[in-house]
Structures are given as C-alpha cells and as structure tokens.
Copies of this chain bind each other. A is one copy, B any other.
Amino acid sequence: MSEDVNKLVDKLMHELRRGTITIGVLSQLSEPQYGYSLVTMLNEKGVQVEPGTLYPLLRRLEKQGLLSSKWDTNESRPRKYYYLNHLGRMVYDELCVEWRKIVSSLDFIIEEDRGN
C-alpha cells in the first residue's frame, strides 16, 4: 500500500473518530478534571484527543451550558477543572442512547456485508 493510500486511510480514520471525541470527553467529567489530565486519561483509554482540540471543546461545552468550571490555585500549580453540571449529565445520557443506536445500526450493516 502506497504512501498516498496510507494518508487517505489516516484521514478517513480521523473522520471516523471525529464525532466520538465529545462523548468521550463528557464521559470523564462526572468528577472534575483539568485539560491535560483529560488528554492523558482519554489517550490511555483509546480515545486520542489533541490539546489543541480539547481546550476549545471544553470552552465550547461550557459556553453551551453543559460544563461548569473552577480554577484551583491551591495546588502546586493553577489548573482549571471542568465537570458535568445537571444539564450536561442529561445531554450526555441522551448522547449515550444515540451512540448505542448508531453502533447497533453500523454493526448490523457491517456484519451483513461480512456475509457477502
């Protein structure tokens, strides 16, 4: 497989992953977390997310009302902690339901294709 095709595959995989970043991030915020900790946690769990992506996402979700945040300056260094608020929990739950539907649909059609 050539270099160009590898790039194409990478690109397609990135697009495949794209929509899952939000739900992945929301899933870790039942307890307050700060940005770099989230990057590490998620990477360890198989959800790759770049800091340049995560921070705007956190700010966006906070702006949309799903997350709340607080600065903690009592530790060795200042960190901004984000966590799901009430609305965020509700929306996250709905996204999880939707995710299961999507997975179910895709699993069905991919397995169907396997049979061919």
Contact across chains for B106 and A23 when beta carbons are under 8 A apart: yes
The yes or no answer to A28 lying at the interface (CB within 8 A) is: yes
Contact across chains for B99 and A106 when beta carbons are under 8 A apart: yes
With known contacts A5-B87, A12-B91, A24–B99 Cβ distance under 8 A: no
1/0 per position for A83-116, CB-CB distance to B under 8 A? 0000100110011101101111111111011001
Chain B residues positioned under 8 Å from A12 (CB to CB): 22, 91, 95
Contact across chains for A27 and B91 when beta carbons are under 8 A apart: no
Contact size class for A? 35 or more
Contact across chains for B47 and A8 when beta carbons are under 8 A apart: no
Contact across chains for B109 and A47 when beta carbons are under 8 A apart: yes
Give the residue of B13, B19, B106 whose beta carbon is less than 8 angstroms from that of A24: B106
Chain B residues positioned under 8 Å from A95 (CB to CB): 9, 12-13, 16
The yes or no answer to A64 lying at the interface (CB within 8 A) is: yes
Chain B residues positioned under 8 Å from A9 (CB to CB): 91, 94-95
Give the most central of A66, A99, A101: most B CB within 10 Å: A99
